[in-house]
Chains A and B, each alone.
Chain A
Amino acid sequence: MLRAMLRRLMLSVLIIFLVAVFVFLATEVLPGDALDVYLSEDDVAAMSAEDIEKKRRELGLDVPAPVRFFTWFGKAIVGDFGTTIVDDIPVTEIIVNPLLNSLLLGGVITAITIPVAFLIGAGAGYWRGRRPDAVISTASIIGYSIPDFVIGMVLIIVFAVWIPLFPAVITIFNDAPASALLAVSLLPAATVIIGHVAHLSRLLRAGFIEAMNSDYVERARLSGIPEFRIVLRHVLPASVIPTLNAMALYAAGVLSGLIVVEKVFGYPGLGVELIKAVDTREVHVVQAIAFLGAVLVVFMNLLADLAIIALDPRVRSHVSQQ
């Protein structure tokens, strides 16, 4: 088991390295001249050939790409993503508060989504093929089909314009205390939770049905154990592993799922920072946010997989045989 876990850990390290390679390739190598990414066409047009050379040296772009990559990667893994191009502010300083704010919002959303989705998914799985399942399935397809920005705008129109309970736009600084952020996070959280519950409950339903169909539960049923006891003592534990798989899938979407809703409500998180950075061509900020976002996904998937290896004897032997 320890060997399987170690293998899985090494895989995560490899993926993080590949993610870094990819982030660097997409922003600095593939577009041709990295200077064009750092500066706008107008900037470049206004500069003389010597100015351009000088800027290139200043930005360290005269060094070959592989060297630049390892310099960048070496610093990135210790949390140094360079400075902004315009103001020369450390990127870390710019993203630390938005990152914490997004994690706070994501945490609130996840804490509500998981239990609610679990109940709904288990219910749909238990009554599969019958009326409650049909109603839940229909509602969840609608729930994950409607874009986040549509749900958000509808909530704003209903609860800020028609019934003025909330302000339509959040006006709060990104270093505001957590209590102030929580106070304004109600509508943004509700927006995301609707879609996430719809999505996750559907994944959990599949896991729950898998558990209901397992030999283990079948044997318990044949031995005449009452149905509610089977669900409580056998189905729920058996559904833990498929559930963890679903959670890993779900976790991958949490941070990127916040980008749109932060923009809709003006919540001062990483998503708003990302869009701002793309607009102002702050390459280092975009690199940092994409890299951190991916590291978070890799980490969540690693946790889920480690738990699965620890819990499931079949997976344990399968992984160590590989």
Chain B
Amino acid sequence: MSASSSRAIQVLTHSPGTMIGVVLVMLHLAVAVFAPLLIPYGETQLVGAPLLAPGHPDFLLGTDAIGRDYFSRLLMGGRTSITVAMVGVLGAVLFATLIGVSAAYIGGLYDDVVMRIVDTKLSMPGILFVSLFVIGFGRSVVVLTIVIGISYFPGAVRTIRAQALTQVPLDYVKAARLRGESALSVILRELTPNVAEVVVVEFAIRTSSAILIVSALSFLGLGISPPTPDWGLMVSESVNQIYAAPWLVLLPAAFISSLVVGLNFASDGLANALGLDAARGLHRS
């Protein structure tokens, strides 16, 4: 593990794409964490004349259609979707590790049932799936986080189970069983550490995909609700201004794009460094 993580660090710093990705992600995370300390105005306060252009002496990036400081809104605009995506995917991946590894080890009917549930979800991609929950449970950040968790759980189970299946026939698992270790102990102490790298890559890849989905949902009006600033929502709120103030669309678009580009370069580099194929687990929406 330590040999492969030092190798990982080596590859991460050697590929320029990966470096750019890591730097972009770090920058975005830093901004998201420290935004409340950095913003000059409250992100939902009306502070100036509407539609001021960027470069204004009081408002660095101008103001939106109702006179809120755009710089403040942009800095705050990633916090909700990043949190929703990370918490939802983390829950999904941790739970998927337990289920995927145990399905691979126990097999039989349990494995069959798990895989049929996985197949069912994978037939209902992205926004179709989420819209069912939105109409059933309404829109809220909590519902959104849980739905993101449920959305990414089955795909993660499939990848992690496949990786665990390569480990089950190996000698160390047989030895553990012969030593009299219980099934639970084999699953948690023998198999899980040996699929950890796949779990980390799953988390990275699916977080970037989840950020795409959350921002698309917000754009469609199914995700984060106003007046909370969110990049996807800000793009859709600014559609009517594309003639008068196209930057109101382009700025949040650039923020969300640079974050996801960074995440994907970083996770692609991570997957390469660990000798895994990032494209295999890749789902757009």
B-contacting residues of A (Cβ < 8 Å)? 11, 14-15, 18-19, 22-23, 26-28, 30-31, 37, 137-138, 141-142, 144-150, 153-154, 156-157, 160-161, 168, 195-196, 199, 202-203, 205-206, 249, 252-253, 255-257, 259-260, 263, 271, 274-275, 277-279, 281, 283, 286-287, 289-290, 293-294, 297-298, 301
Q: Are B253 and A150 in contact (CB under 8 A)?
A: yes
Q: With A37-B136, A253-B283, A297-B122 given, can you name 15 additional A-B contacts, CB distance below 8 Å?
A: A18-B117, A22-B121, A142-B261, A147-B260, A149-B219, A153-B250, A154-B250, A157-B246, A203-B282, A253-B125, A259-B128, A260-B216, A260-B219, A294-B123, A294-B124
Q: Are A146 and B216 in contact (CB under 8 A)?
A: no
Q: Are B277 and A147 in contact (CB under 8 A)?
A: no
Query: Whole-angstrom distance from the CB of B197 to the nearest CB of chain A?
Result: 18
Asked whether A22 and B124 contact (CB < 8 A) given A27-B135, A149-B216, A263-B219, the answer is yes
Q: Which of B117, B120, B134 has the most CB of A within 10 A?
A: B120
Of the A-B pairs whose beta carbons lie under 8 Å apart in the complex, a sample of 19, sorted by A's number, is: A11-B119, A18-B116, A18-B120, A23-B132, A146-B261, A147-B216, A147-B257, A156-B242, A157-B242, A160-B242, A168-B242, A196-B284, A252-B123, A252-B125, A256-B285, A257-B284, A259-B220, A277-B135, A294-B128
Query: Whole-angstrom distance from the CB of A193 to the nearest CB of chain B?
Result: 13
Q: Are A206 and B260 in contact (CB under 8 A)?
A: no
**Inside 8 A of B285's CB, which chain A residues have their CB?**
253, 256-257
The answer to the question of B149 belonging to the interface, with a C-beta cut-off of 8 Å to chain A, is no
Q: Are A148 and B120 in contact (CB under 8 A)?
A: no
Residue in B119, B136, B268 whose CB lies within 8 Å of A15: B119
Cα distance, A161 to B253, chains bound together (Å):
17
Cα distance, A289 to B131, chains bound together (Å):
10
Number of A-B contacts (CB under 8 A): 168
Query: Whole-angstrom distance from the CB of B204 to the nearest CB of chain A?
Result: 13
Query: Whole-angstrom distance from the CB of A218 to the nearest CB of chain B?
Result: 20
* Chain B residue nearest in CB terms to A162: B246
Q: Are B220 and A275 in contact (CB under 8 A)?
A: yes
Residue in B136, B215, B242, B256 whose CB lies within 8 Å of A26: B136
Asked whether A290 and B132 contact (CB < 8 A) given A147-B212, A199-B284, A260-B219, the answer is yes
The answer to the question of B179 belonging to the interface, with a C-beta cut-off of 8 Å to chain A, is no
Contact with A along B272-285 (1 / 0, CB 8 A): 00000101101111
Q: Are B279 and A26 in contact (CB under 8 A)?
A: no
Q: Are B284 and A195 in contact (CB under 8 A)?
A: yes
Contact with A along B191-217 (1 / 0, CB 8 A): 000000000000000001000100110
Cα distance, A44 to B120, chains bound together (Å):
34
Q: Are A149 and B232 in contact (CB under 8 A)?
A: yes
* Chain B residue nearest in CB terms to A29: B136
* Chain A residue nearest in CB terms to B267: A141
Cα distance, A156 to B212, chains bound together (Å):
20
Q: Are B123 and A15 in contact (CB under 8 A)?
A: yes
The answer to the question of B127 belonging to the interface, with a C-beta cut-off of 8 Å to chain A, is yes
The answer to the question of B102 belonging to the interface, with a C-beta cut-off of 8 Å to chain A, is no
Q: Are A27 and B136 in contact (CB under 8 A)?
A: yes
**Inside 8 A of B239's CB, which chain A residues have their CB?**
153
Q: Are A301 and B132 in contact (CB under 8 A)?
A: no
Contact with A along B131-166 (1 / 0, CB 8 A): 111111100000000000000000000000000000
Query: Whole-angstrom distance from the CB of A318 to the nearest CB of chain B?
Result: 13
Asked whether A150 and B127 contact (CB < 8 A) given A205-B279, A206-B277, the answer is no
Residue in A137, A157, A286, A297 whose CB lies within 8 Å of B132: A286
Query: Whole-angstrom distance from the CB of A112 to the nearest CB of chain B?
Result: 17
Cα distance, A295 to B262, chains bound together (Å):
35
* Chain A residue nearest in CB terms to B262: A145
Query: Whole-angstrom distance from the CB of A263 to the nearest CB of chain B?
Result: 6
Q: Are A279 and B221 in contact (CB under 8 A)?
A: yes
Q: Which of B121, B246, B265 has the most CB of A within 10 A?
A: B246
Q: Are A146 and B257 in contact (CB under 8 A)?
A: yes
Residue in B17, B127, B235, B279 whose CB lies within 8 Å of A259: B127
* Chain B residue nearest in CB terms to A198: B284
**Inside 8 A of B222's CB, which chain A residues have their CB?**
275, 278
Q: Are A141 and B264 in contact (CB under 8 A)?
A: yes
**Inside 8 A of A298's CB, which chain B residues have their CB?**
123
**Inside 8 A of B117's CB, which chain A residues have their CB?**
18
**Inside 8 A of A275's CB, which chain B residues have their CB?**
131, 220-222
* Chain A residue nearest in CB terms to B249: A153
**Inside 8 A of B283's CB, which chain A residues have their CB?**
249, 253
